[in-house]
Amino acid sequence: MPPSACFPENYLSCSPSHGAPGHSFVWLSPLRAPSPLLLELPVPPARSRDKHAGTVWNAAIVLADKIAADEIDVRGRKVVELGAGLGLPGIVAARKGADNVLLTDYDDPAALADTGQAVREALSPPLARRVKVLPLSWGEPVDNVLEVMPEFDLILVADCVWDATLHQRLVTTLLHLLLACPTAVVHFTCGFHTGRRPVAQFLAAAARMGIIPLAPDEWVELSVEGAARLWNWAPVENVGRVRVKGEGEEKQEERNRWTLYGTLGLHRD
């Protein structure tokens, strides 16, 4: 994969997140996109230390760039985003012709209001009407999602697996959604800012519940310098094995430079 096809030309940084509280984050579509797009998202003031929905993470930029470049085709499709935060990928999907977009996040009125504000500021009124913001606590019933969007084609998941204590809840939510729409494709991205092991643990947990990688040979790590390398599935296969101290560890700054992208779907016999 040539550097020009990789994330992110415009965000050379070893920081995994972007945006200063109280200011705006400006996203520009990558050079490989067929037409230029520019979005400005308001970054809300910091409200707590334990929630990280108010900044834009590299993983969200990866998905947004891929949607802008038509590498994820959203035209005429229905899209659900989990753990949306400011909702950059979903907002870009609306700009690129998605019929409907549903941005979901934990049930916090202030955080959901921030998401709604980002939608209104980033999109024209006709496009903003295609986007709805809805509370969805992982592990809880997804009835409210299915009432608003009974059928959907794509699920976007950007940087939602850094906290291993939430893995089972997220897997449960994904399973409920995929059982409702078995042909839906999950576009999954995550950084390694809390290490690679939580990512491997999540993918192993998902596989145990029948949510498997689609085209596993195409899962790729993308660096902020434009490099690309295939994802190594060995850590996923070895989840549960006792590790030797220091095995597979990278320095924080090096981990922060990489973002994983791949697709997931429901296992069908």
How high is the pLDDT of residue 17? Answer: 79
Residue 224 confidence (pLDDT) above 70: yes
Average pLDDT of every residue of the chain: 89
Alpha helices in 129-256 (DSSP H): 143-148, 167-180, 197-208, 234-237, 252-256
Confidence band for 242, pLDDT divided at 50, 70 and 90 = low
Q: Give the length of the chain.
A: 269
In contact, 94 and 118? CB cutoff 8 Å: no
CA–CA distance, 76 with 99 (Å, rounded to integer) = 5
How high is the pLDDT of residue 241? Answer: 67
How high is the pLDDT of residue 49? Answer: 44
Sketch the domain layout of the chain as residue ranges: 3-266
How high is the pLDDT of residue 89? Answer: 98
Please list, in sequence order, all residues whose beta carbon lies within 8 angstroms of the beta carbon of residue 228, skipping any fewer than 6 positions away. Answer: 1, 3, 5, 6, 220, 221, 222
Confidence band for 100, pLDDT divided at 50, 70 and 90 = very high
Residue 227 confidence (pLDDT) above 60: yes
CA–CA distance, 188 with 123 (Å, rounded to integer) = 24
Contacts of 130-133 with C-beta under 8 Å, sequence gap 24+, read 130/94, 130/98, 130/99, 130/100, 130/101, 131/87, 131/90, 131/91, 131/94, 131/100, 131/101, 131/102, 131/103, 132/100, 132/101, 132/102, 132/103, 133/84, 133/87, 133/102, 133/103, 133/104, 133/105
Tokens of 207: 């596989």
How high is the pLDDT of residue 86? Answer: 94
Segment 163-179 shows an average pLDDT of 97
Residue 5 confidence (pLDDT) above 60: no
Q: How far is CA 59 from the centre of its chain?
A: 6
pLDDT cut 70: percent of the chain above it? 88
In contact, 261 and 62? CB cutoff 8 Å: yes
Residue 6 confidence (pLDDT) above 60: no
How high is the pLDDT of residue 243? Answer: 61
Alpha helices in 149-268 (DSSP H): 167-180, 197-208, 234-237, 252-256
Instruction: Write down the CATH superfamily of domain 3-266.
Output: Vaccinia Virus protein VP39 (3.40.50.150)
CA–CA distance, 177 with 80 (Å, rounded to integer) = 10
Residue 71 confidence (pLDDT) above 90: yes
- pTM over the 0.75 mark: yes
Strands (E), the chain: 17-18, 24-28, 38-42, 56-57, 78-82, 100-105, 131-135, 154-158, 185-191, 211-214, 220-223, 228-230, 258-266
Residue 146 confidence (pLDDT) above 70: yes
Contacts of 35-39 with C-beta under 8 Å, sequence gap 24+, read 37/68, 37/92, 37/95, 37/96, 39/88, 39/91, 39/92, 39/95, 39/122
**For residue 256, which amino acid is it?**
N
Q: How far is CA 43 from the centre of its chain?
A: 18
How high is the pLDDT of residue 52? Answer: 60
Segment 101-120 shows an average pLDDT of 94
How high is the pLDDT of residue 72? Answer: 98
Segment 98-119 shows an average pLDDT of 95
In contact, 48 and 110? CB cutoff 8 Å: no
Segment 169-189 shows an average pLDDT of 98
How high is the pLDDT of residue 19? Answer: 80
Residue 173 confidence (pLDDT) above 80: yes
How high is the pLDDT of residue 88? Answer: 97
CA–CA distance, 216 with 195 (Å, rounded to integer) = 21
How high is the pLDDT of residue 34? Answer: 96
Please list, in sequence order, all residues whose beta carbon lies within 8 angstroms of the beta carbon of residue 49, skipping any fewer than 6 positions away. Answer: none
Q: What is the pLDDT of residues 13-64, one digit of tens each?
A: 567 878 888 888 999 999 999 999 999 999 888 765 455 667 899 999 999 9
Confidence band for 217, pLDDT divided at 50, 70 and 90 = very high
